[in-house]
Structure 1
Amino acid sequence: MDVIETEEMLKNGEILLKILIRSSPANFKEIRLSDDDLQFSLENLEEFLEKWRGRHALTIFTIDSNYIREDYTKLIDKYKSDGVIKDFKYFRHIDSLNYCV
């Protein structure tokens, strides 16, 4: 993956997080990340989670191993403790992600 592709993925992720904050219905509470076309920077994810406070706690499912790196794990654990994230699960295969309930 080249630098331009990574920058585009991060920009797509930033755009999605802004849309979720602005447009999510009150009962929105689950995110499934299976798309290789976007990625959330640590900073953008933290900003999103801060703005999500006071809403339904989120359950996040992903197949992207970036989110199990130590820096992301610490951030996710912080927001789990704060009640912003209800649950976070990483799956190795998309089939597991598609069929989790």
Structure 2
Amino acid sequence: MSEITTEQVAHLASLARIALTPDEIQSLTSDLRSIVDDVAKVSEVATPDVPATSHPIPLENVFRDDVPGETLTTEQALAGAPDHDGSRFRVTAILGEEQ
């Protein structure tokens, strides 16, 4: 079991300028002890012969190959636009309107 004390938690809260009630200090002390104990358990089994993993099951790419296909021409893309200049969409300027 870890040796995290309520005094240590209160001191850390003071250093971080966090106001904690005695109940919150007690709760956080318990939570921090649990976290430190869990990390210690993992450290016991995480030996150099155990490979590091980021996911418990092997993953593989399930996406299709990225193959270029047919695309719209400029005219087709602009056909439904409310306003354009012949090669680009035209939109109302919004810069400077935020107050």
Q: Which has the larger radius of gyration?
A: 2
Structure ranking higher in helix proportion: 1
- Structure with the greater relative contact order (CA < 8 A, sep ≥ 6): 1 or 2? 1
TM-score with structure 2 setting the length = 0.25
Q: TM-score, normalised by structure 1?
A: 0.24
